[in-house]
A and B are shown apart, each in its own frame.
Chain A
Amino acid sequence: MNVLGSYVPGTSALHRAPAGAKLAVLVGLGAGSVLLQSPVRVAVAVGVVLVGYLVAGLGWRAPVDQLRPLVWLLGFTLVFHLVVSGWPRATVVVGTVVLLVLAAGLVTLTTRTTALVEVVVKLCGPLRRIGVDPERVGLMVALGVRCVPVVITLAEQVRDAQRARGLTASPRAFAVPLVVRALRHADGLGEALVARGVDD
């Protein structure tokens, strides 16, 4: 499974497009998504993004992988809106979430993290005047992307340990060790950053 942040090397037009332009389109799509008020428009937009996956040579599995972690959330949202506001609204809401997740996935899958970080650092440049360190913000973004697979791995390890001890339906037995391990990992990562000269 290809999770957020797993850049897939390639030479497609999307891979070669500047990271700033891709982020701008993504932000524009997010802002413009409020205008997508009909199921047909949402479907067309999702279709365009799916074409983007094909153009980037990512295949059909990549968009499925991006959506898989959200299946329960999407299902719950769909049912909720079907009950509360009917199928057209339910389709628009769920379709818009799908659209934005797929679009964000397309950007991260076709853009190196360093390129994304460079854009963030540039955008945060003016904030230096009020004491914000753009390099730190960029590092925070990079670490956020890096930590997604780490937390997924930690969750898998905790779940395996839970199963091995027969605690299959205990949210507490899952959450507590996961948080403890995540904090321990964060501690180690902080130490490693210092060792690698991040505070220089």
Chain B
Amino acid sequence: MLIEVTGVSHRYGSRTVLADVTVSLDEARIGVIGANGSGKSTFARLLNALVVPTDGRVRLDGLDTARSARDVRRRVGFCFTDPDAQIVMPTVAEDVAFGLRRLRLSKAAVADKVQAALTSYGLDGHADHPAHLLSGGQKQLLALASVLVTEPDLLVLDEPTTLLDLANARRVSELVAALPQQVLLVTHHLDLLAAFDRVLVFHEGRLVADDAPAAAVSFYRGLLA
């Protein structure tokens, strides 16, 4: 999917969180890094039309997020930092099935897709388990399964490993690495980006570096030094 961000600025009231960002992305693995409040999460939200820019334009394969938000969301999955805020239904299987509602599939087709997703993401045997009783890692896997079951073309992940321990963070990152989809990952875990194609660095609302992982991470460390 070709992501085109052209002259984008975004303000919350009088506070500018993104300033004149222009970038074009079509790589399979894109990383986004930056300090807290640097604008990276707002940038990620632009891609799912959760945020419509105050100025400028965001287009995904030619679809303008301001005009075609529904079509954009059908093609772009979004995974939040806190899975608790993303899990909508009380049980695991019900939550995975939730995203399939809009596809108007038969009950049997939904059940098949849900079962396949639970198996793929290591949640087999938890179908009727209350979602709130899962561990943090399982909740994040459920959040991922619930988004990926709808087969989006692009998956945007906003710090999906921030609340996880090392083992679960590794599990989630391995799972993400194996996905066939295009992935844009916002993270503070810089080691996750080693195998990525391209990394963007945000600082005080501006895109200040756009490079290969090693160079971008080095630039970011320099910013913080």
Contacts and interface: CB of A to CB of B under 8 A. Distances in A.
Q: Do A and B associate with each other?
A: yes
B99 to A, nearest CB: 5
Contacts of A112: 91, 94, 128
A147 to B, nearest CB: 9
21 contacts: A5-B130, A6-B130, A112-B91, A112-B128, A114-B97, A146-B89, A149-B132, A153-B84, A153-B132, A185-B84, A188-B86, A192-B80, A194-B50, A194-B73, A195-B50, A196-B99, A196-B146, A197-B73, A199-B70, A200-B70, A200-B102
Interface string B61-93: 000000001100110011010101111111100
B121 interface: no
B147 A196 contact: yes
Given A7-B90, A192-B85, A200-B73, A150 B132 contact: yes
User: Chain A: interface secondary structure?
Assistant: helix
Which among A5, A114, A143, A149 has the highest number of chain B CB atoms within 10 Å? Answer: A114
A188 B80 contact: yes
B112 to A, nearest CB: 16
A143 B131 CA distance: 13
Interface in B114-165: 128, 130-133, 146-147, 150
Contact of B86 (A113, A153, A192, A200): A192
Contacts of B146: 196
Contact of A9 (B74, B128, B131): B128
A70 interface: no
B102 A114 contact: no
Interface residues of B, number: 31
Interface string B177-194: 000000000000000000
Contact of B85 (A7, A9, A188, A199): A188
Given A195-B48, A197-B73, A142 B97 contact: no
Interface string B41-62: 0000000101000000000000
B90 A113 contact: yes
Contacts of B70: 197, 199-200
Interface of B: 48, 50, 69-70, 73-74, 77-78, 80, 82, 84-91, 94, 97-99, 102, 128, 130-133, 146-147, 150
Contacts of B85: 185, 188-189, 191-192
A150 B82 CA distance: 13
A145 interface: yes
Interface of A: 5-7, 9, 112-114, 142-143, 145-146, 149-150, 153, 185, 188-189, 191-197, 199-200
B128 A146 contact: no
B102 A197 contact: yes
Nearest to B156: A195
A77 B128 CA distance: 36
Contacts of A146: 87-90, 131
Which among B73, B88, B128 has the highest number of chain A CB atoms within 10 Å? Answer: B88
Contacts of A189: 85-86, 88
Given A7-B128, A9-B128, A196-B99, 20 more contacts: A6-B133, A112-B128, A114-B97, A146-B90, A149-B130, A153-B132, A185-B85, A188-B85, A191-B50, A191-B80, A193-B88, A194-B73, A195-B78, A195-B80, A195-B86, A196-B73, A197-B70, A197-B73, A197-B102, A199-B70
